[in-house]
Amino acid sequence: MADFNSFNLLAPILSAVEKQGYKVPTPIQEQAIPHLLEGKDLLGIAQTGTGKTAAFALPILNRLSKTRVKTRPGRVRTLILTPTRELASQIEANFQTYGVGSRISSKVIFGGVGYRPQIQAMSRGVDVLVATPGRLLDLMNDGHVRYDQLEVFVLDEADRMLDMGFIRDIEKVIAKLPKVKQTLLFSATMPTGIAKLATGLLKDPVKVEVTPQATTVEKIDQKVHFVEKSNKILLLKSILKNRSLKSVLVFTRTKHGADRVVKQLAKESISAAAIHGNKSQGARERALGNFRSGMVRVLVATDIAARGIDVPHVSHVINFDLPFEPESYVHRIGRTARAGREGVAIAFCDNEERKLLKDIEKFIRCKVPIDVDHEYHGVAARVPARGQVLRNPTDKKKADSRRSKKRPARNSRKKAPSRAQTSASCN
C-alpha cells in the first residue's frame, strides 16, 4: 500500500497531511494523486466521504507551489466549481489546511452574501478559487474573474450540479476557459448527462472509481422503521431519548419540515438546529459549527443544504422522510461512517413512502433490514415479504404469524421468488 511519502509531494504539503493525522491515503487518493501529479485529466466516480477533496487538493497545491506565478487582477490559476455554499466553504477550508506553509492563496465565492467583498477579493487575483456557478457567472460577466492564467479546472459533484439545474451555467463557465488546462471531473454517479459532459471536457482522462456506482457505503448499519406519518415525530423523540446518540443528522424533504422537527424537539429539550436553503449563510454556518462542536446534538437538514456537510463524527443518519431520488438516499447515509468510522442509518417509512423504499432498495441492490423493535411499529407496518430480513430475530415469529393471518392461502398466491431472485440484505 502506498503511503503519502511515496507521492513525491513537496515538504510543506506532506507535513500538513501529517498534521491532519492521515496515516495512509484513501483508495481515491492512492489511485488519483500519482496521475494528477503528472498533469493528467481525471474522471473520478466518488462520493464525499471518500477523501476526494485531498485527492485533488494535494496535487493542485503541489503544482501551484512548484511553478509560482504572480496572478494579475481577477485572474485565477485553479477554478473549482461546486454545487453548494457549504461544500465550497469546506473545500476552500481544506485548501487552507493542506496549503499551510505553501503560500498559496485561496478564495471562496457563492451567492447570498455581499457582492462587493467578493469583487475586492478578486482584485489581486487568486491561486485557487472555489465557487458556486451562479455568483461566479455574475462576477465573470462583470469582468471581475478572468481565466487567461488558468491551469487547472475542477468540476466537483457534477451529478448534483445537474440535478440542481446548473448545467447551462456550467456550460457558460466552461466556454470561457482556455483550451489547454488540466481538468478533473468528480461525480458520485454517472448518468448520461455527465458522461456527455465528461467526453467533451476531458482529454484522455484517467478513470478512478472508488465505490462502485449505486452501492451503499458498507460500514453503515442500515435499517428501516415502518411508522405512520403522524407518529414519525414521536418515533424520532423516542429514538433521541437514548443519550448515546451523540451526533445525529436528520433529513426531511422540505425546509418547513426541517423547521417543524426542530421546534418539536425543542419542546423536549433536545438541542437541534436546522440547515436549509431559507437560512442565511451565517445561520447555516452557525448551525454547522454548533453541530461540529457538539453543542447541538441534532442537525435537521434538507438534501441540498446537507450536500456539503463534512462532520467526521456523525454517528446516526435518520431519514425522517425518504427522498424522491434513490441517489439522495446514498448521499444522505454517506454523511455517517466517514473517514473509516462506523455509522447507523435509520429510515422512517410511512405508507405513502413504500414505493420510494422499493426504488431505493432496487438502486442499492439490497433490502434494507426492517427493525420492528420500536413502539410505533403499528398499523403502517408492512408485513415483511418473504426473503425480507428482519433486524430483530425475536420478532420474526410475530411477523410470521401476521403474515399467515393477512396473506391468502399458499396455493392461491403467486409463486414466491426463489432464493436467487430475492435481493440480499444490506447488512
Least Å distance, CB 358 to ligand AMP, is 29
Contacts of residue 140, Cβ cutoff 8 Å, sequence gap at least 6? 146, 173, 176
Give me 311's grid cell. 462532520
* CB 43, min distance to ligand AMP, A: 16
Q: How far is the CB of 277 from ligand AMP (least distance, A)?
A: 21
How far apart CA 303 and CA 325 sit, in angstroms, is 10
Question: Residue 48 or 231: which CB sits closer to ligand AMP?
Answer: 48
Task: Tell me how far apart the alpha carbons of residues 380 and 359 are, in angstroms, rounded to a whole number.
Answer: 19
Q: Which is nearer to ligand AMP, 310 or 327 (CB)?
A: 310
Cα separation, 34 vs 13, whole angstroms: 15
Smallest distance from ligand AMP to CB 339, Å = 4
Nearer to ligand AMP, 328 or 388 (CB): 328
Whichever of 47 and 118 has its CB closer to ligand AMP, that residue is 47
Q: Is 95 left (phi over 0), alpha (psi -120 to 50) or beta?
A: alpha
Q: Which residues bind ligand AMP (CB under 6 A)?
A: 22, 25-26, 29, 48-54, 310, 312, 338-339
Q: Which is nearer to ligand AMP, 339 or 416 (CB)?
A: 339
CB-based contact 251:303 (threshold 8 Å)? yes
As measured in angstroms, the least distance from the Cβ of 340 to ligand AMP is 6
Least Å distance between CB 23 and ligand AMP? 6
Distance CA 62, CA 134 (A): 29
Closer to ligand AMP by Cβ: residue 54 or 360: 54
Cβ 312 to ligand AMP shortest distance, Å: 5
Paired residues of 300 in beta bridges = 250, 274
